[in-house]
Amino acid sequence: MKTVLIANRGEIACRIIQACRKVGLRSVAVCSQSDASARHVALADDSFVLGPAPARQSYLNVDAVLKAAQDARADAIHPGYGFLSENAEFARLVEDRGMIWLGPRAETIAIMGDKGQARMAAIAAGVPVLPGSVPIRLDDAADLDALAAQVGYPLLVKATAGGGGIGMRRVDGPDDLAAVVRTAQKLAERTFGDGTVYLERFVARAHHIEIQVFGDGAGRVAVFPERDCTMQRRFQKILEETPAPGLSNAVRAEMQDAAKRLSAAQTYRSAGTVEFIFDADKGDWFFLEMNTRIQVEHRVTEMATETDLVAMQMQLAMGTLGDLAEVYPLIEQRCVIEARICAEAPEKGFLPQPGRLTRLDLPKAGDNVVVDCGLRAGDDVSPHYDSMIGKIIAKGRTRDEALDRLGRALEQTRIEGVMTNIGFLRVLLLNRDFVEGRVHTRYVDENVARLVDEMQITA
């Protein structure tokens, strides 16, 4: 393996290019016409334009990506996250054309990408799952009332092919069920090409915990310390950290063991994340889903354990990774927290704010602070893609130290030309409930008006 084509853009494409350099591989970027002068294109050893700005005509255009790989004589494709990263058919096509897919096997992606199949796989591996219904396909004449009675209210309607909270809706009683199911099905069909949904028990005070795994494809799996992604809005993560505040060592060990069993049962290959819901009221935990790709928040794990998960993906493919039992050094784990900086307006319902970055001053990176960004001053935040500008990750010997370092890094960040969520992030870091570990996944949504007011007062 000598050349890797990166089927992505922005900060994750820059991150993968960095890993390519680390292990001595040539990197090839792809881009839309609007991204032709983007940072990831400038950093790569070579680049190819896929098509117009809309994602379906560029980054989601399978034929265009495969042609670029052929023209670049790429030996491998790394999909990053989003776009085609969890497209099982694309993974199959890559390998059918003699290239290496730097990710899990296509069949694993297909199973875990279908939430119904993923639940069955978890059950088969002895991993607890939330009460849920059978899949409800578009135009099914399903007895929704009977299915809801089995699950119990409140419940969530979720797209089986969904991700990032898309197609997910809460229902508190039977009067709204049919209408919400129809709306979720239409959105899932439009977004994922699959209108199948299912019902799942809603946990009122949920903590979102995930376990990073890395498998060698032969049944051996390394598990890493958990990440807490509880601080989110509308099912979109805002802050991620390790270790999870308030999680007992017993529950932590149970989740790690469950993640390892599930991954080993799939003979999992490459990096992945097993996600769980922890019920803060009852102390129970349940399998949520498995993401068969690198995560936005993978840096949290890397900083806490002094590893390079992206480089490991490449080393596994090259046969140079070594024994997974020794995959990261036995060091004292540090506290790490990550903030996602987005071009959005919290005071306008977090509406994305595309535009030109007239100023982009980021904090200096070092041993205790890492900055991942795919943009430069003068670049545009495009309305065609995700509004995330970048992320800042800070490490400390204690959680308070990590929070303090992240707060000071955000204070040093200056962005002009577009509105951002930096002020909102700073309010969250000082929020007493967050500092004392009393938040849940709906905390921001329930308190957003007060939090925005605090942001505007301190601006």
The model's pLDDT over 285-331, given as tens digits with 9 standing for 90+, comes to 999 999 999 999 999 999 999 899 999 999 999 999 988 766 554 44
Contact 197, 157 (CB under 8 A): yes
Query: What is the structure's pLDDT at 164?
Result: 63
- The residue length of the chain stands at 459
Residue among 269, 293, 399, 426 flagged as catalytic: 293
Instruction: Indicate if the pLDDT at residue 76 is higher than 60.
Output: yes
The model's pLDDT over 96-119, given as tens digits with 9 standing for 90+, comes to 999 999 999 999 999 999 888 999
| Chain centre to alpha carbon of residue 336 | 17
Confidence of residue 142 (pLDDT cuts 50, 70, 90): confident
What is the percent of the chain with per-residue pLDDT over 70, rounded to a whole number?
97
Backbone angles phi, psi at 100, to 5 degrees: -90, 130
Contact 230, 440 (CB under 8 A): yes
- Tokens at residue 119, please? 């639940």
Residue type (1 letter), 100: I
Instruction: Indicate if the pLDDT at residue 255 is higher than 50.
Output: yes
Q: Could you confirm whether 261 is annotated as catalytic? A: no
Backbone angles phi, psi at 146, to 5 degrees: -65, -40
Query: What is the structure's pLDDT at 330?
Result: 46
Query: What is the structure's pLDDT at 163?
Result: 66
Taking the CB of residue 60, how many other CB atoms lie within 10 A of it? Answer: 18
Least confident of 89-98, 147-156, 372-381, 414-423: 147-156
Q: Which of 279, 337, 336 is nearest to 305 (CA)?
A: 336
Backbone angles phi, psi at 451, to 5 degrees: -65, -40
